Amino acid sequence: MRYLAVGVLAFALFCAALAPAGLLTVLIDRLGGASLTATAGTIWSGSGALRLRRFALGRLHWSFEPVTLARMALGYTWRLSGDSLNLHGRMAFRPDAVELSARGAVANAAVNAGLAAYDIRLDGGFDIDSLDATVTATGLEGLEGGGRWSGGAVNYALGGQFHTALLPPMRAEAQSAPVKARVFADQGDTLLIQAEIMGGGYVKIGITRRLLQMLNRPWAGSGADDEIVISVEEALHL
């Protein structure tokens, strides 16, 4: 009986070691809108093609971190390489949440693909200094960190006409409770844009007097530069 138990345990360990990479798709699905296909390797070390709804992001590579088991999680280091982005970080799958950390570079082509639905196009590139996110069954619950945009031309539609403005480098700072991002000029502390994640797949965007001045569309009347004068709720077109 003892030898049988040892044999069963050895077989179980053998199967676990060779668990196919496709099993990770079940965990990736918990990110809401994310999907993993064309997998290779094992659940412990492998790769797959990552999509976020209608966007193909690139090839995701992962490597299991055994130490995370002590925290009751399946944790991995990861790297995502695509035509328009190069990101890396860590992810941990817990029973009630997924924790992600990321840093790296994103080209404007990847950002503009998401902004096209809003008739906005940006030049320049984006650097994620450090970003930590927590995703639960109800959506994005936590977001901390920030990044930078190199600045450049912004093309946007307003009143049925297209306009162009040159903007300086900017930085974004994310925060939780509620989840929101605030954008400032890289060399200033005046709020330009505020975006807050709402329920039901919507985002509330606020634009200040200062940003409208920079876009050559000054807001009438007087008020502080960081006063939000335009506020809209938009569906997230991902």
* DSSP 8-class letter at 70: G
Residue ranges per domain, the chain? 1-106
Average pLDDT over residues 92-121: 91
Cα–Cα distance between 100 and 140 in angstroms, integer? 11
Torsion of CA 76, 60, 129, 190, to 10 degrees: -120
d(CA 232, CA 195): 10
- Model's pTM, two decimal places? 0.83
Q: Would you say residue 237 has pLDDT above 90?
A: no
Q: What is the pLDDT of residues 130-175, one digit of tens each?
A: 999 998 877 888 899 999 999 999 999 877 888 999 999 999 999 9
The neighbouring-strand residues paired with 207 are 193, 230
Beta carbons of 190 and 210 less than 8 angstroms apart: yes
* Per-residue confidence band for 219, with pLDDT thresholds at 50, 70 and 90: very high
Confidence (pLDDT) at 7: 34
- Measured over the CA atoms of residue 153, residue 155, residue 158 and residue 162, the dihedral's sign is positive
Cross-strand pairs, 152: 167
